[in-house]
Chains A and B, each alone.
Chain A
Amino acid sequence: MAQPATNDIDSDSLRRAAIDRSVKGPVLFLFTNGAFWLMASTILGLLAAVKHVFPDFLDHDWLWFLQYGRLQPAHLVALVYGWGIQAGLGVAFWIMSRRTGQELRGGHATLISAGVFWNIAVTLGILGILFGGSTSIEWLEMPKYLWPVFLICFLAYAWPMVSMFARARNPGGFMISAWYMLGASLWFPWIFITANVCLHCLPGLGAIGAGVSAWYVHSTILLFFVPVGIGAAYYFIPKVTGRPIASYQLARIGFWALAVLGGWSGMQRYMGGPLPAWMPAVGAASGVMMLMPVGVVGWNHHLTTLGKHNLVQTSPSLRFTFMGALFYPISSLMFAVLSAFYTGASLQFTHAWYGFQIVTIYGFFSMCIFGAIYYIVPRLAGCEWLSVRLIRNHFWFSVYGISAIVVTSLVCGLQQGGDMNNPEKWNLGFFAVVGGIKPYIIARAVAWGLITWSNVWFLIHLMLMVAGLGRRSSSPTLLPGHDIEDPMHNLTHPTHA
């Protein structure tokens, strides 16, 4: 194909700017509120970890609701619904409109209202949990009446994305990241409706209710958080490096393997439990086989980034996305170890499962979302990020904090499961085993403390940007590296296939 004329590039820039303008309000709304809930979630996680070890901490009469049993679910609900799904929707929405080349034609008021109601629902949910109204169903602890609100708000964002995809003008090869966003926006409502109808509307579910709850948690991870994270990586790695996605075929294999395998997982959590044996067996099989799409996608990203590692140092977006893409195979490996019967029998019901949730939602998904936010917000807000130092702190505190939480949770799970299954330790009481893991929980508290610190600054940084108080400059905020590439350089030599 011929080199595009300068005029085409100019009009292309204008078109992209028009798309950005059309989605600015809803996307920035979701990012800012998401960042607030992220900070709230890390503070709750810190408190929960401290309470786990020192129940007497902050033990005042008027703080009667601060207990580990309420803080831990509140922490995860804030992380999943307040931050994860909210910010994920923002990124998915922006990428979908960019990738399909569609402006948002209307319905801004609907989208903003849906965002407001989503946040009201998260607030009520967390207050409900803290004040004792928890349903005790993992990830669905918020009071029962809230789930239709969450569903309708989600659909308000999913519908425009689906219709954008239907009107897409780009040829198939460019749409890889849009597939994942489309998948996430269709799969999550299905999972959410199924789980809530089963758990809240069907009477007398019995033991299978636990299985449905585990299925909900892992399907949400594999069919919402994972596709949004991968979709963002598939968009931003080529965008920042200027290189094509290495292999279209690998991308297709990875997508369809995830789509086919993602919904079968979860019940292996109750291996040996009162469920028909085939249910945990299917879950374990798909949990192990998830290594396939993960390996394929990881290899594809690796090939795409090859030779551009200097950009990982300088570009904040690429650095976060790259780290997120690195955490993805780690999370999948952990999932396979937890799922397989050989190893899962020891790790069942231990802190290792918490480690898996955190490495997936924070290490992989959130790092990709951070990368996306560092890329998207300057375009929507019309100014550049203020401080290299804040970005760098955010990056290193997050990476070290998450790594610490994941490693300690995994080792803690090994010790916990090993102690409980070891005949030599059967003279120990259950509480002696629980008491033996204190050091790991203290390490977790320290890690959440570090992450909270970085998140406070991330929230402030983001709010300044959204308020339009960022740097007025034509040059991007880049992290120092040994070989800074001129960002304008590549534009004049496009390799247009």
Chain B
Amino acid sequence: MSSPSAYNPDTTDLDRLHPAVKREKIDVAPGTEPSPMWVIFLALLVAVLGGSQLGNVANFAFETSNPLAGAKLPDPRPGTGGGGAELDPMQLAMKKGAATYALCGGCHQGSGQGVPGAFPPLAGSDWVMGGTERNIRVVLHGLNGPIKVKGADFTAPSAMPPQGAVLSDQDIANVLTYVRNSFGNKGGMVTKEMVQKVREAEKARATPWTGAELDKYADKDAAADAPPAAK
């Protein structure tokens, strides 16, 4: 290091100096060894990995914003014809229906047993296992008045509230499929199209059903294009 000799320090200056400064190590010039070859190779490898982000995946296009656009990767969501299309529709409906059932479980209980005298059971219920036309109507518009389920009378001080405004056709189809295939029940699948048809047919209805009104749908299944029962 080029140090100016003009200073000519005297001992008092040095004594006053803080020892931390005096004990510092002298600066040394860095080594001049060339960098090893493998550093260059590793750097190239990283450059290839980085460069692959430009071409392969992102398509490097001005007019697209989706990095998957150029990659021909299928959209994994079910119903889009991509990778998730093979997902069994019954399994999907059961899974999603189970989540929607949280709405029902408050009264009908998680086990589907209901509460004797207050909320009718779903497990083994003739109402649930009967015609899907009736099922869908009950969920869409609610139910008022006394009914008889599994031989027990429910005079229903608290009516079943309508869910048609809250749940989509798909949601209702899912939850009905779930109810008809849980708690020991074994019924068919309810599809979105079936719910759609009933909703369309009862467009004008604004009030809940009564048990008597629904009797004519007791054994009627919605639309003939219903898929066969669970595999």
Q: Is the CB of A496 within 8 A of B49?
A: no
Q: Which residues of B contact A488 (CB under 8 A)?
A: 23
Question: Which of B39, B54, B84 touches A285 (beta carbons < 8 Å)?
Answer: B54
Indicate whether B77 reaches chain A with its CB closer than 8 angstroms.
Answer: yes
Indicate whether B213 reaches chain A with its CB closer than 8 angstroms.
Answer: no
The smallest beta-carbon distance between B26 and chain A, in angstroms, is: 4
Q: Which residues of A contact B54 (CB under 8 A)?
A: 281-282, 285
Indicate whether B207 reaches chain A with its CB closer than 8 angstroms.
Answer: no
Query: Restricting to B41-99, which residues have a CB under 8 Å from any CB of A?
Result: 42-43, 46-47, 49-51, 53-54, 57-70, 76-78, 84, 87, 95-96, 98-99
Q: Is the CB of B98 within 8 A of A427?
A: yes
Indicate whether A312 reaches chain B with its CB closer than 8 angstroms.
Answer: no
CA distance A487 to B26 in the complex (A): 12
Indicate whether B227 reaches chain A with its CB closer than 8 angstroms.
Answer: no
Known: A292-B46, A423-B78. A491 touches B25 (CB 8 A): yes
Question: Which of B4, B27, B58 touches A174 (beta carbons < 8 Å)?
Answer: B27
CA distance A108 to B69 in the complex (A): 57
Indicate whether A12 reaches chain B with its CB closer than 8 angstroms.
Answer: yes
CA distance A170 to B39 in the complex (A): 29
Q: Is the CB of B46 within 8 A of A423?
A: no
Known: A169-B2, A340-B53, A474-B19. A273 touches B30 (CB 8 A): no
Known: A242-B28, A253-B35, A280-B67. A12 touches B3 (CB 8 A): yes
Q: Is the CB of A285 within 8 A of B28?
A: no
Known: A4-B3, A10-B9, A341-B58. A276 touches B65 (CB 8 A): yes
Known: A249-B33, A341-B57. A14 touches B25 (CB 8 A): no
Known: A14-B14, A247-B30. A285 touches B50 (CB 8 A): yes
Indicate whether B151 reaches chain A with its CB closer than 8 angstroms.
Answer: no
A15-23, A82-90, A224-232, A436-444 - the one binding chain B: A15-23
Q: Which residues of B contact A245 (CB under 8 A)?
A: 30-31
A-side interface size class: 35 or more
Indicate whether A435 reaches chain B with its CB closer than 8 angstroms.
Answer: no
Indicate whether B24 reaches chain A with its CB closer than 8 angstroms.
Answer: yes
Q: Which residues of A contact B32 (CB under 8 A)?
A: 247-249
Q: Which residues of B contact A289 (CB under 8 A)?
A: 46-47, 49-50
Q: Which residues of B contact A494 (CB under 8 A)?
A: 25-26, 28
Q: Is the CB of B33 within 8 A of A246?
A: yes
The smallest beta-carbon distance between A2 and chain B, in angstroms, is: 12
Indicate whether A63 reaches chain B with its CB closer than 8 angstroms.
Answer: no
Q: Is the CB of B53 within 8 A of A238?
A: no
Which applies to chain B's interface (DSSP): helix, strand, loop or mixed? loop
CA distance A284 to B2 in the complex (A): 46
Q: Which residues of B contact A275 (CB under 8 A)?
A: 65
Q: Is the CB of A281 within 8 A of B67?
A: yes
Contacts across chains A and B counted by CB atoms under 8 Å: 211
CA distance A253 to B9 in the complex (A): 41
Chain A 10-38 near chain B by CB (<8 Å), digits 1 or 0: 11111111001000000000000000000
The smallest beta-carbon distance between A448 and chain B, in angstroms, is: 33
Known: A244-B30, A277-B65, A277-B66. A284 touches B78 (CB 8 A): no
Question: Which of A171, A239, A247, A384 touches B33 (beta carbons < 8 Å)?
Answer: A247
CA distance A272 to B67 in the complex (A): 5
Q: Which residues of A contact B14 (CB under 8 A)?
A: 10, 13-14
Q: Which residues of A contact B17 (CB under 8 A)?
A: 13-14, 17
Q: Which residues of B contact A420 (CB under 8 A)?
A: none
Q: Is the CB of A272 within 8 A of B1?
A: no
Question: Which of B8, B30, B59 touches A248 (beta carbons < 8 Å)?
Answer: B30
CB nearest to B22 among chain A residues: A13
The smallest beta-carbon distance between A297 and chain B, in angstroms, is: 11
Q: Which residues of A contact B116 (CB under 8 A)?
A: none
Question: Which of B66, B84, B96 touches A427 (beta carbons < 8 Å)?
Answer: B96
Q: Is the CB of A491 within 8 A of B29?
A: no
Indicate whether A219 reaches chain B with its CB closer than 8 angstroms.
Answer: no
Chain A CB count within 10 A is highest, among B21, B63, B87, for B21
Indicate whether A251 reaches chain B with its CB closer than 8 angstroms.
Answer: yes
The smallest beta-carbon distance between B24 and chain A, in angstroms, is: 7
CB nearest to A383 among chain B residues: B18
Q: Which residues of B contact A8 (CB under 8 A)?
A: 3, 5
The smallest beta-carbon distance between A261 and chain B, in angstroms, is: 9
Pick 11 A–B contacts, CB within 8 A, sort by A: A8-B5, A174-B1, A242-B28, A249-B32, A250-B35, A281-B53, A296-B35, A340-B49, A474-B19, A475-B19, A491-B26
User: Which A-B residue pairs are the 6 nearest by beta carbons?
Assistant: A281-B58, A289-B50, A245-B30, A11-B7, A288-B50, A474-B19
